[in-house]
Amino acid sequence: MTKMTSEQMRRWALSMYLNESRTQAEIAEACGVSRQTIIRWAKADHWDEHKASLTMTREEQIKNLQRQIVEINNTILDREQGQRFATPKEADTIAKLTTAINKLETELGIHEVVSTAQRFIAWLRPVDLELTKTFTRLFDKFIKSLM
């Protein structure tokens, strides 16, 4: 297995923060960094804002992106006849919004993977605590391999 880059480690730490009930110390231990590093990453990468954004469902995010495309198209349609085409900036924005919508509609993100594992761990814990610890360690390695 190849070593994770600092950026990959930061994304994984953010994922653990967003999807698991781990403390900063636990995240630091899983990532192999100091707790102070986790505190710096959380502040620099606005972890609290990310957590707040998770309250919005995937469907709501898609609808918001679609509304943005409609707004751009309405702006284009309001122009004089013969001038109703997207500027390069508008075309680029529409392409990016469309890509984001497609990604939200089709890809299983790391957050969903972690969320599923978290639910499984919660189910497994009262059944077999030692197996839960083993699974959690293995799952951490699995997530690192995805990044």
Q: Positive or negative CA dihedral for 7, 139, 50, 71?
A: positive
Query: Which percentage of the chain shows pLDDT scores above 70?
Result: 90
Question: From residue 94, how far is each of 68, 81, 97, 121 by CA, in Å?
Answer: 8, 21, 5, 40
What is the model's pLDDT at position 142? 85
* 143 CB neighbour count, 10 Å cutoff: 19
Give me the pLDDT at residue 94, please. Answer: 97
Task: Give yes or no for residue 109 having a pLDDT over 80.
Answer: no
**Residue with tokens 């469902």, as numbered in its chain:** 57
pLDDT tens per residue, range 3-45 = 778 888 998 999 899 888 788 999 999 999 999 999 999 999 9
pLDDT at 80 over 60: yes
Predicted pLDDT of residue 83: 94
Whether residue 147 has pLDDT greater than 80: no
What is the pLDDT at residue 126? 93
Report pTM: 0.44
**Mean pLDDT of the chain, nearest integer:** 87
- List pLDDT tens digits, range 38-69: 999 999 998 888 776 666 677 788 899 999 99
